[in-house]
Structure 1
Amino acid sequence: MSFATLEQECHHSRVSDKQAIADAFSKAARTYDQHAAFQREVGQRLMDKLPNDLSGLSVLDLGCGTGYFTEQLLKRGADVTAFDLSYSMLEQCQQRCDGVMAQSDNVSRVSYQQGDAEDPPFSAASFDIIFSSLAIQWCHDLSHLFQMLSRMLKKEGQCYFSTLLEGSLIELKRSWSQIDKYQHVNQFHQWDQLNFALAQTSAQRYHVDSTEIQVWYDSAFELMKDLKGIGATHVDGRSAGLTKRRSLLDVEKAYQQFRNPLGQLPATYHVCLGLILK
């Protein structure tokens, strides 16, 4: 097999993978908000790092989902471009934001754009701020991604991002490993991998912090229901396979090893909060 043929096959595989991710999130667009408490907590931590007044600034909400934070950006006065891999997510975002705009007297504007963060349709120096919460873990090439984000920033622009790191959902991963040999939980980016990618950007400087967040459940079923409800069911090119009743019962049993004295089951997330300065 030639190098050109191998490169074409890798490209086709990644395109197919992104389409599968988009399809999974599209199916969950109407249920997402009911199951996204953790996502809102992380996004709010990131939002708290932004200026309160964004009047006159152009902001890209990269991986906007149903627009929970797009709405907040608008209320702070920003002109927002809502960008997502899923058309259905963008539809939910528009429904939310149209209601806000209709009741608002500010002059903020919002536009909607579907696309892949690793192949963005935006020209250089398009945005004052890029906001992206829990989206880039679905990207393959972090070095390329961060170069694109830096390129899209205006001079002295800022990119605020959050992403999941390896070790996230470790309890679910270990529980599934006792049931079968298949991969049911995504492999997230490593801390060193993320820092290496950032060091390769053209940005003047960057800063990253990592934190551990635990979400508590009464059962493993509830955790898996949340993951399905937000559309996080695509695992590295194959279905996460959470629908077989026997397997689910076995996972529930295996998960009990993590139960705390209060009878709660943890879902541990390792979260990176980052800032890129142009």
Structure 2
Amino acid sequence: MNIDHLVFIHGWGCDGRIWQPLRAALEERLAENGLELPLTVLELPGFGDRFGERWPDGETLLNSLAERIPHDSLVVGHSLGGMLAVRLAARTDRVAGVITLAANARFTADPDWPGMATTTFADFCNAFAAVPRQTWQRFCGLQVQGDHKARALLKNLRALAPESSAFETTVAETTSSAATAGPWSAALGCLGRLDNRELLKELDKPQRHFLGANDALVPVEAAQSLSGLGVAAEVIDGAGHVLPLSQPQFLAAAIGDFILQARRGEDSSGSTEPFAKTAVARSFGRAATSYDAAAHLQRAVCRQLLSALPEQTEPRRILDLGSGTGYGSELLRQRFPSAEIVALDLAEGMLSFARHSRPAANAYIAADAEQLPLADNSFDLVFSSMALQWCYRLPALFAGLQRILTPDGRLLVSTLGPGTLWELRQAWARVDDGVHVNRFLPALQWSDAAQEAGLCGGLRTEERVLHYSTAMELMRDLKRIGAHNVNSGAGKGLTGRDRLRRLSQAYEPLRATAGLPASYEIFYLELHSSAGSVKTQDAGTEAGVLEVGQ
């Protein structure tokens, strides 16, 4: 697959201006990798620059949009725009891949599909026909509802209000007949009719789908239903419906990696390894004595991961995979005092520290998670927190994990995604073209590999942000936990005094009130064997979870 062009399609009640923050973040992300792709923002009839145009019938609309899409395009659509993007991907070879944001396969609910209640949708359509401006303002509130940035987002959305004449035209035209309804009302009708479920089942083009955990318009349960179609949807914690405005940096990282992988010809196996495992083992082995003093986020994530395990779980044998200094083993011992716990880590230095400082495990093994020297069906629980991001052969990794799990076994994993430390990566890109920040795999590769191995369950995405007084403080923390740059392309002598000074200058514009931000994109996977007796909802079907497998 080759991607030479980007196309954005907005949703109902918005126009092309909604893409401005994401567009800027994505251009910067691509520039870090020496790419500059042309971008087309398609506005729908009656919206934005196409004010005054009527909304056509479905075939005419899709044909007109398809004609404006350059060959080898990645089409990114929000809400209604995402639903149209799926239709276009199924319709024309000009679309090389598709990414949807807050887009359901079917917007309105039916007995077999979660969505907005049909009566609620009908009431909204009638209210818009009667009092369009007031209804649009209410719609802005619904778009930001549940988002942790709701207040600021509402202000931003209302600043994108259309001209008053747009609403006046809607009132004038919707007072007649459906055939002459204003474009905004006609677009609502289109939204209510679209049903992409069969198309998504058959769509064989690269795709990613993002939903907000707290979306008031597209229920998060749609992620599980999409899974039933064989489509993985990634759920973003703390986000509502207006993802382009709420999550520009996160989405820029995800879209940028999608493009880069396509242009490099990489498949979903993630088989390309940017560093040697020996370098990882050496780095973490050296950091064993300093790790705990700096690993505040790692400990918090470890506790969060363990809290996902149902209370009634009573594993007899537990593998703490990537056990590090033994913090996870200690938590597991407190919760399961009678269990046999095996600590396995790539770094012998970490295992040695754990044996002497946190002797909570029954056995300690130095080994690679991708080549587990363990018997089949030997563990009821595999627990791995903030370790498997150093694995890049994900199909082999999950095949091994499936092999060692008992039929009723569970697998809990927390790991890092490609949005991790984007601020540091961006600052370094302004200094030189070296590889200074470790690269991690996107959520879709994790969920696909788990499903291929026969594992089912959920994947949640979370963003945590730490703050530092200086860039050097962040760099020191990364070194203390062994997570500094181990990429084979990093080169030598790239962090001399002059470069570090320039790095500090490049990072400074990102400073917030709390300090310089360092973002971590965290994936939580709660999985079990498809042959086991564990129910899917026990693996986590609460808000913020996408289903993996069937």
Q: TM-score range by the shorter chain?
A: 0.7 to 0.9
Q: What is the aligned partner in structure 2 of residue 176 from structure 1?
A: 428
Please say which of residues 238-247 and 38-47 is displaced more in the overlay: 238-247
Shift in Å at residue 173 of structure 1?
Answer: 0.1
- Per-residue CA distance 1:111-166 (angstroms, 9 max, x = gap): 10000000010011110000001111100111111111111100110000011011
How large is the RMSD of aligned CA atoms in angstroms? Answer: 2.1
CA distance in 2, matches of 1:155, 1:263: 47
**Which residue type is aligned with residue 276 of structure 1?**
L
Q: What is the aligned partner in structure 2 of residue 221 from structure 1?
A: 472
CA distance in 2, matches of 1:144, 1:192: 16
CA distance in 2, matches of 1:55, 1:165: 30
- 1:84 counterpart = 2:84: no
**Which residue type is aligned with residue 210 of structure 1?**
T
- Which of 299, 308, 319 is the equivalent residue of 1:49? 308
Q: What is the aligned partner in structure 1 of residue 515 from structure 2?
A: 264
Q: What is the aligned partner in structure 1 of residue 324 from structure 2?
A: 65
CA distance in 1, matches of 2:491, 2:318: 34
CA distance in 2, matches of 1:240, 1:82: 33
Instruction: Report 1:188-227 matches (<5 A).
Output: 188-203=440-455, 205-227=456-478
CA contact (8 A) 1:129 1:159 kept: yes
CA distance in 2, matches of 1:54, 1:208: 20
Shift in Å at residue 64 of structure 1?
Answer: 0.4
Higher relative contact order (CA 8 A, sep 6+): 1
Q: What is the aligned partner in structure 1 of residue 230 from structure 2?
A: none
CA contact (8 A) 2:318 2:341 kept: yes
Shift in Å at residue 263 of structure 1?
Answer: 5.0
Q: What is the aligned partner in structure 2 of residue 97 from structure 1?
A: 358
Aligned residue pairs, count: 255
Please say which of residues 215-224 and 165-174 is displaced more in the overlay: 215-224
CA distance in 1, matches of 2:463, 2:449: 22
CA distance in 1, matches of 2:480, 2:398: 29
- Structure 1 unpaired stretches of 5+: 1-12, 101-108
CA contact (8 A) 1:175 1:251 kept: yes
Q: What is the aligned partner in structure 1 of residue 292 from structure 2?
A: 33
Shift in Å at residue 178 of structure 1?
Answer: 0.6
Distance change in 2, residues 1:97/1:52 (3 Å): farther
Shift in Å at residue 80 of structure 1?
Answer: 0.7
TM (normalized to structure 1)? 0.86
CA distance in 2, matches of 1:139, 1:240: 21
Distance change in 2, residues 1:259/1:133 (3 Å): same
CA distance in 2, matches of 1:240, 1:169: 19
- Per-residue CA distance 1:23-82 (angstroms, 9 max, x = gap): 111111111011101111111110111255766621000000000111111122231100
**Which residue type is aligned with residue 332 of structure 2?**
L
Q: What is the aligned partner in structure 2 of residue 230 from structure 1?
A: 481
Shift in Å at residue 211 of structure 1?
Answer: 0.8
**Which residue type is aligned with residue 421 of structure 2?**
L
CA contact (8 A) 1:24 1:234 kept: no
**Higher strand proportion, which one?**
1
Q: What is the aligned partner in structure 2 of residue 115 from structure 1?
A: 367
Distance change in 2, residues 1:173/1:126 (3 Å): same
Shift in Å at residue 235 of structure 1?
Answer: 3.0
CA distance in 1, matches of 2:275, 2:518: 29
CA contact (8 A) 1:124 1:151 kept: yes
**Which residue type is aligned with residue 355 of structure 2?**
Q
CA contact (8 A) 2:325 2:358 kept: no
CA distance in 2, matches of 1:234, 1:47: 28
Shift in Å at residue 233 of structure 1?
Answer: 2.2
**Which residue type is aligned with residue 175 of structure 1?**
A
**Which residue type is aligned with residue 24 of structure 1?**
S
**Which residue type is aligned with residue 221 of structure 1?**
M
Shift in Å at residue 228 of structure 1?
Answer: 0.4
The alignment partner of 2:368 has SS state of coil
CA contact (8 A) 2:315 2:380 kept: no
The alignment partner of 1:116 has SS state of coil
Please say which of residues 176-185 and 228-237 is displaced more in the overlay: 228-237
Shift in Å at residue 255 of structure 1?
Answer: 0.6
CA distance in 2, matches of 1:91, 1:239: 29
Please say which of residues 160-169 and 244-253 is displaced more in the overlay: 244-253
- 1:133 counterpart = 2:385: yes
- Which of 388, 411, 427 is the equivalent residue of 1:159? 411
The alignment partner of 1:181 has SS state of coil
- Structure 2 unpaired stretches of 5+: 1-271, 530-550
Shift in Å at residue 206 of structure 1?
Answer: 1.9
Q: What is the aligned partner in structure 2 of residue 10 from structure 1?
A: none
Distance change in 2, residues 1:62/1:197 (3 Å): same
CA distance in 2, matches of 1:198, 1:250: 41
Shift in Å at residue 202 of structure 1?
Answer: 2.1
Please say which of residues 224-233 and 43-52 is displaced more in the overlay: 43-52
CA distance in 1, matches of 2:356, 2:312: 24
